[in-house]
Structure 1
């Protein structure tokens, strides 16, 4: 039995005891099992019943039908209600599979289903509030209900009213190593509604009460004194996922005779207690490197966690560097991995390889290939290539160039996936100490099934770094280091709006409820060209 993606209105029946993929209106995924009595109620559909099934009619609310005689239920037969015996085998795909899976778990950086921002009104956006900090903010704004959560490089976590920007609470909980090029909360936390989770560059994870900011637990996540987090955390099924990175690459040039010994790994913590549930080591002694810099994706049906990795530091390269990795989300056991760049060994003091880390995390999406819906996973690399694999097997499917690679070139953030397209951006051979307008970035829209271009906006805007855009309806937002936020028509790539921001945008963009949120900052590592204020800033429609 093949895995199938279905639109909301579809329900499949089978004599097999194996689960099928299914999609519910709310956008959450469920494993669909047949009920023991052969009648599947709405309540059982929500719960996911695991039991045997005979060839009987299935009742989901007002819809009742039998399996078709040829074993295939087409769209037309479904709408009419096939009334004949037989065993279901497959669904004939007639259009791309739906996009409305859980967008957070799939890591889509998009919401195309219900956007208050349109091509007609995007020009009305204006700054509505800004919260300032003493320290750079590269934390992606986390929106939960009417609140927004973020943190800064100084070790302070904030909660603010999403509509007004009023700071509801703030709590300085980490002691950053300010002599490091990046420090404090340079990564991005997560929230499950009740708790806010953070993990510092210095190697400590925290859970805070979302209402009060009180620290509920803290856990040391790294044994290496130069290791910690700069990735984006993710929660699922009571687990908190964290990827480790290190500041050792720049320290090789900052400290005489410095020898890197960091070894990358991914951890899962119990979200309620902070206890470490599992760790997956990505490189063994005497090798080093293989950091996790970006975000995660989770397939809840198979219980698979996906992440991407960076280069080795010194010595020989290992097989999990510059790779995508799929693991069992509950145990950390590796299911499959695929390396895209071999022999990538790099530090600032000894730049032997190209430094083609994955700066973009994995993203799950569906596409119809050879007439069948397939679950795919894609990710963007600093080589400038967006790669795609079969999410179940790791089979490479297609790879498309978005821009030119380099240390700060190539893809430096996740794509946005929605509608019938993938929108990705890439720097072109950029170095972060150079003024961003000297190295314009490219934006391209791709066909999810083939990777072919739907449109190209070459040299669209000044360079960006470590940030994803956001697709809101038919409007694609992307920040820039030149202190500006731009919006593009998702259908043809044309620029439709731009505005100045208080400082260089150094986080992914987020949009929600007619508002757009960005984080800004000018870290010292950028050099003399950078300036401006450290803020989280919101744009919205005039009242």
Structure 2
């Protein structure tokens, strides 16, 4: 059946329109919309995932102290958790306790035993873990699989037709990471994106953020509902479920064939570091492997098919583990692995550095220190199949000695795994979450025990590349490698040598600002989103910029602005005044650029001029076609994507103190 969102949405040529009219499917009016929003917040229907970014989730306390005695988990929390979570510093990845309390018991337990908080969990016994989980956990959301089963497609409409070319093959749309789609690929003209309406919404239980993008093939949308614990295949036009398979894929999906004669599949990494291949036709798990060189490093970025092989980016988690004073900081580092698509066998692994060794020194707590470490790969690489080269980008070092591979773009030979070149954008950026950002003498907090190197030359910036490199191909045959950095800088490099061609910077950058999750490009322009959350107005560069790829010259700019007025928006998005920039990567569709904002709005701009053509608000309540009531929130990490004549938005991202949400929203051209 075809459904319409129960939440109101706003659109306009230059701003938000009215959201007060009655929804023709559910009958909601503005007052009812706010009531549902409040119910969503109080019920704690959202629960966070296990990635480092998921240190930030929003919610309401579940456990209350009784008149007789405090909850036994409170003492555990006070001892092991309160120092980081009671009052996180601005810019910290640690969530406030009110945010942790929106996590499900399952998520909290997994985080403490196998996930990002394992270093804390290792210091607790089983009873303490059980007590602190019970103290923090949000009320359970819907039980069982009714949210899937009650929305199954009719028996005769569950088939998955894979005869059409995919609208995208992964996070970057194509192997160039261009995030560019033609009208034929998207199934709609760019101008149509300026006149959209909600076709349906799908609400995910036990979810506070949607970190991944889907893949569209024909009339099927494959989507990673990581926190809900499933990968689902949905009908693009109605949102009904064709298949649903357990498997909590954390990030986005990649689409390709499992060997030259194998089945078509979608592939993604789960919260335990396994790479899982799901047969696209049926959802059957074809294989599940662990491609990591170190069991302590996660899979955060999206893999990409390179013919009958799969390129897998590998990140590292010690940047967060270092918050614990007794943690042996730091050992983990990033890597790229190449797998045989047929069975997931690892063919080679390129490492961002050698394995860490004892440094012969101890921190202030008497704990042995290790290095080098870090340079994780958070993003999806790009692949030049003709030249046989993989391009990847890295993050900062987390302990010394600094390496030349941190905050860098790297070229790797596809066949052998040998490094071809490294371009380092910022040297000596050694940083972890025990450190201040920048010099501690400038009024910032002093370094913690695992920032023992703070006075030894590190710039302490955390200005990594969060998005993968883009292979730009001009009409004249010119090729460049483009990348955006959290410093606000954009770089263009020669593909054969890594030599810098040009550099441009917007704002000053922050650990969560500048270019956060990536850029986009077409033949004429490169589109640069700037996030800059909570940066003062005089320094804030939040918005979108179009550059000449050959020279770096700014062709046009569009500045994002906060909107906390009217329609209860301040209540729905409390962070709206400071977090309104563009963190998720843009999507270019046939002359239009679609960008999602940290405050839940998304925008459609004319690619040639930067003229704002439409604004839509997803940070509103929704009644999903699968029977659940939910709400949208921040758009981050997963950018808008399109296919089969539709635009899809993953609304909700509770990390970093942003607005929780649990809704995939499908838009179609207005009829």
Name the TM-score class by shorter chain: 0.7 to 0.9
- 1:153 equivalent to 2:248? Answer no
Residue number in structure 1 paired with 2:408: 323
Secondary structure of the residue that 1:122 maps to in structure 2?
Answer: helix
1:350 aligned residue (435, 442, 457): 435
Query: Aligned runs of 1:196-235 on 2, under 5 Å?
Result: 196-235=266-305
Verify the 8 A CA contact 2:204 2:225 in the aligned structure 1: yes
The answer on 1:530 being equivalent to 2:659 is yes
Q: What is aligned with 1:424?
A: 528
Which stretch of the first structure deviates more once superposed, 136-145 or 339-348? 136-145
Query: Which among 152, 162, 166 is matched to residue 236 of structure 2?
Result: 162
Which deviates further from its counterpart, 451-460 or 352-361? 451-460
Partner of 2:595: 478
Matches of 2:603 and 2:345, distance apart in 1: 42
Give the drift of 1:474. Answer: 1.7
Residue matched to 1:67:
none
- Change in 2 beyond 3 A, CA 1:522/1:443: closer
Q: Is the 8 A contact 2:410 2:421 kept in 1?
A: yes
- Pair 1:246–1:466, CA change in 2 (3 A): farther
Counterparts of residues 499-514 of structure 1 (less than 5 Å): 499-501=616-618, 502-506=632-636, 507-514=638-645
Q: Secondary structure at the residue paired with 1:526?
A: helix
Question: Would you say the 8 A contact 1:298–1:305 is kept in 2?
Answer: yes
Q: What residue number does 1:520 align with?
A: 651
Deviation at 1:223, TM superposition (A): 4.7
- CA RMSD after TM alignment: 2.4
**Alpha-carbon distance in 1 for matches of 2:203, 2:536:** 24
3-state SS of 1:246 partner: coil
In structure 2, the residue matched to 1:95 is: none
Decide which of 262, 277, 293 is 2:347's aligned counterpart. Answer: 277
Q: What TM-score comes out, normalization by structure 1 length?
A: 0.73
Partners of 1:215 and 1:118 lie apart in 2 by 36
Q: Is the 8 A contact 2:217 2:643 kept in 1?
A: no
Contact 1:265 1:280 in 2 (8 A): yes
Aligned ranges for residues 111-122 of structure 1 at < 5 Å? 111-112=181-182, 114=184, 117-118=188-189, 120-122=191-193
* DSSP-derived class of the 2:497 partner: coil
1:414 to 501, 515, 518: 518
CA distance in 1, matches of 2:523, 2:351: 37
**Displacement after TM superposition at 1:191 (Å):** 1.1
**Alignment correspondent of 2:331:** 261
Write the deviation string for residues 285-329 of structure 1: whole angstroms up to 9, x where unpaired: 331101001121111211111110111001221011111111111
Between Structure 1 and Structure 2, the one with more strand by share is 1
Distance in 2 of aligned mates of 1:153 and 1:318: 33
Higher relative contact order (CA 8 A, sep 6+): 2
Q: Is 1:335 aligned with 2:409? A: no
1:396 counterpart = 2:460: no
Instruction: Deviation per CA, 1:216-249: give whole Å up to 9, x if none.
Output: 1111122534311111210012111111112321
Residue 376 (str. 1) matches residue 480 (str. 2): yes
Specify the SS of the correspondent of 1:492. coil
Return the structure number with greater helix share. 2
Q: Name 1:186's counterpart in structure 2.
A: 250
TM-score by length of 2: 0.60
Distance, in Å, in 2 between the alignment partners of 1:275 and 1:398 is 39
Q: Which residue of 2 aligns with 1:312?
A: 397
Runs of 4 or more above 6 Å deviation: none
Q: 1:257 to 1:384 in 2, by over 3 A?
A: same
Report deviation, 1:383: 0.9
Q: CA deviation at 1:357?
A: 0.7
Residue in structure 2 matched with residue 83 of structure 1 by the alignment: none
Work out whether residues 408 and 465 of structure 1, in 8 Å CA contact, stay in contact via their aligned partners in 2. no
* Partner in structure 2 of residue 444 of structure 1: 545
Tell whether the 8 Å contact from 1:307 to 1:361 is kept in structure 2 after alignment: yes
Q: Could you tell me how far 1:453 is from its partner in structure 2?
A: 0.8
- Measure the CA separation in 1 of the matches of 2:316 and 2:582: 18
Q: How far 1:470 sits from its partner (Å)?
A: 0.5
Residue range with higher mean Cα deviation, 303-312 or 488-497: 488-497
